[in-house]
Amino acid sequence: MKTRRQHLRETTYRDIRQTARALLVSGGLQAVTINAVARRMGMSGPAIYRYYPSHDDLIAGLTADLYREVTAAIDAARRPGAVNLLPMCRALRHWALANRAGFGLIFATPPLPIGQEGTAREDRLAANAFGMAFFTEIEALWDTRRFPVPEPDGLEPHLRKQLEAYATSTGGRLPPEAIHVFLNCWIRLYGLLCMEALRQIDFAISDAEPLFEDCLKELSDWLKIDYLPPAAKR
C-alpha cells in the first residue's frame, strides 16, 4: 500500500506534467520552462528540480506522456482478428488534430540527446512502444498475406545495407525488402499528417480528410488490403 508521501509525490509529478502541457498548448515549446511551471503551480524553481533534475528531464517526461496517450488511442482502434491498419491510421490523425501542440513536440521536434542512461529513458521507451504498434501491424500483414516487396538486389546497395541493419536490430521479424515498404508507408502517412497538423496546407485545403483517405487508399494498394472508408461514410 502506498504511503501518503508516495501518493503526494506521484500526484505532484502528474500535476507538473499537466502544467507543462498546458504551457505547451498556450505558448509552444519555448514557454515550457522550469520557472514557468513553478510559477503556475505556486512552487519555487528549486522545488520543481526535486522532481525533474533538468529541463530536458521535464520535456522527456511530457514527451513520454504524449507518446503513451497517442499509443493508447491507436490501440483502442484495434479489433481482434481484423486488419487494423486503417483504423489505427485514422486514430492517429484524430489524435494529431485534437493535440496539435503535442503532435508538434513528439513528431516534429528533434529528439533530445541520449544521456548516460541510453535508451532506457522513459520518452525513448514510450516512443519505441508507439513505433512498435504500427510495426507489429505490418508484421501481421506480412505473416498472413506477403504483400508485394521489391527484389533485394534491386535496392540501392547502401540503402539495402541500412535496411538489413534495421531488420537485424528488430530481430529479423521482417525482411529488409518488407521494411522498405513499411518505411515508405510511414513516410507517406507521416508527411501528410505533419502538413495537416502543423497547418502547412491551410492556405489551400481547409479539410484534408479527403487527401488523408487518398493516402490510405494508396497504402492499401501497396499492402494489398481492402480499403474500407470511415464507418460514418459507408
pTM of the model: 0.91
Backbone φ and ψ of 42, nearest 5°: 75, 30
Percent of the chain scoring above 70 in pLDDT: 94
Residues of the chain with CATH 1.10.10.60: 1-53
Backbone φ and ψ of 229, nearest 5°: -65, 165
- pLDDT tier at 158, thresholds 50, 70, 90: very high
Distance between CA atoms of residues 80 and 93, nearest Å: 21
Question: Comparing 26-35, 84-93, 111-120, 208-217, which segment has the lowest mean pLDDT?
Answer: 111-120
- What are the pLDDT digits (tens) for 100-150? 999 999 987 766 665 545 556 889 889 999 999 999 999 999 999 899 999
Looking at the predicted structure, is the pLDDT value of residue 32 above 90? yes
Mean pLDDT of 88-107: 96
We find that the CATH architecture of domain 63-233 is Orthogonal Bundle (1.10)
Higher pLDDT, 231 or 155: 155
- pLDDT tier at 1, thresholds 50, 70, 90: confident
48: left (phi over 0), alpha (psi -120 to 50) or beta: alpha
> Which grid coordinates are listed for 10?
506521484
- What are the pLDDT digits (tens) for 45-71? 899 999 999 999 999 999 999 999 999
Residue whose C-alpha is closest to residue 54's, from 162, 183, 62, 216: 62
> Which grid coordinates are listed for 166?
534495421
1-53 has which fold? Answer: Arc Repressor Mutant, subunit A (1.10.10)
Residues of the chain with CATH 1.10.357.10: 63-233
pLDDT of residue 121: 80
Mean pLDDT of 164-184: 96
Higher pLDDT, 92 or 117: 92
